[in-house]
Structure 1
Amino acid sequence: MKYLERVILETLRMYSPVPLIARVVNEDVKLGSAGPRSCVGRKYAMLKLKVLLASVLRRFRTISDKDEKDFKLQADIILKREDGFHIRVEERVV
């Protein structure tokens, strides 16, 4: 599960779900470390995501007809592909 977490974190680094924030800053803001007020649900969300992905990837194989270099991304409220995510899902044979 540690390897899966590293893959998830790297994917989120490369393709941030919220790549920009539409706000204007009027003055400098000093940001501290997350500390005791960091997101309470972060660990729960990561655990849930790992369980879900492990369950799906254990049973199914996902195939994309396009290479990553051919993706055209669109930054809307969230980051997404312009033409959507077209994948094929095949059941794994054991």
Structure 2
Amino acid sequence: MDYLERVIKETMRHYTPLPIFARNVEKETQIGGYLIPEGTQIATFGSTFTIFPAMLHLNADIYPEPEKFNPDNFLPEACHSRHPYSFIPFSAGYRNCPGIKYAMLQMKTVISTLIRSYRFHPSDKCPTPKNLRVMFSTTLKFVKGCYVKIEPRT
């Protein structure tokens, strides 16, 4: 289950479930070398700070070879060497998703149950990773779907 959790997290690093979220700038904040004053107008959300997790998750300063799928990015020693907010698929801080632990348990339960009984392969209708397109909605979605072939294990 540890490896499965690393695979799920690495998948969410590449395809973040929440492509964008916003926070109000309630007090003067220092981020990197930038000072963000209270009430600053950022992006089109008024006095809201907009966060794009994909920009963080695909940052080469945080994840070596960020385009490469590597579940070892989530080994305990790798996680301890990074900032705690370097991976935020469901937001972060006191306003993060309250169901994040439940969601992880649910994903691990469903995936582990399915892969014990079935084999999964890309279907002929599935685009190659190079041609896979996603769209921003409430959550990240595939433009034309992502089809798989399912075969029972024997």
TM range (shorter): 0.7 to 0.9
In structure 2, the gaps of 5 or more residues are 23-43, 50-91
Shift of 1:39: 4.7
1:77 maps to what in 2? 138
- Quote the offset at 1:86 in angstroms: 1.5
Which gives a bigger RCO, structure 1 or 2 (Cα 8 Å, sep 6+)? 1
Query: Would you tell me which structure has more helix in proportion to its own residues?
Result: 1
2:105 to 40, 47, 65: 47
Rounded to whole Å, the distance in 2 between the matches of 1:47 and 1:74 is 26
What is the TM-score normalised by the length of structure 1? 0.75
User: Is 2:99 aligned against 1:34?
Assistant: no
Give 2:45's aligned amino acid.
V
Pairwise CA distance, 1:43: 2.0
Q: Structure 1's 17 and 38: CA in aligned 2 closer, same or farther, altered over 3 A?
A: closer
SS of 1:16 mapped into structure 2 = coil
- Show the counterpart of 2:6: 6
- Give the distance between the partners of 2:151 and 2:48, measured in 1 at CA: 52
| Larger CA deviation: 56-65 vs 13-22 | 13-22
Q: Give the superposition deviation at 1:34.
A: 2.9
Could you report, residue by residue, the CA deviation over 1:31-81 in whole angstroms, capped at 9, with x for unpaired residues? xx736x765432222122111110001111111133212201111222111
Q: Measure, in 1, the Cα distance between the counterparts of 2:103 and 2:11.
A: 15
The SS at the match of 1:24 is coil
TM-score by length of 2: 0.49
Kindly, what percent of the aligned residue pairs are identical?
35
Q: Which residue of 1 aligns with 2:121?
A: 63
Kindly tell me the number of residue pairs found equivalent between the two proteins: 88
Tell me, what secondary structure is at the counterpart of 1:69? helix
Stretches of structure 1 lacking an aligned partner (at least 5 in a row): none
What is the alpha-carbon distance in structure 2 between the residues aligned to residue 27 and residue 54 of structure 1? 39
Quick one: structure 1 residues 45 and 76, their matched pair in 2 at CA, closer, same or farther if it must change by over 3 Å? closer
Q: CA RMSD in A?
A: 2.5
> Is 1:89 the equivalent of 2:150?
yes
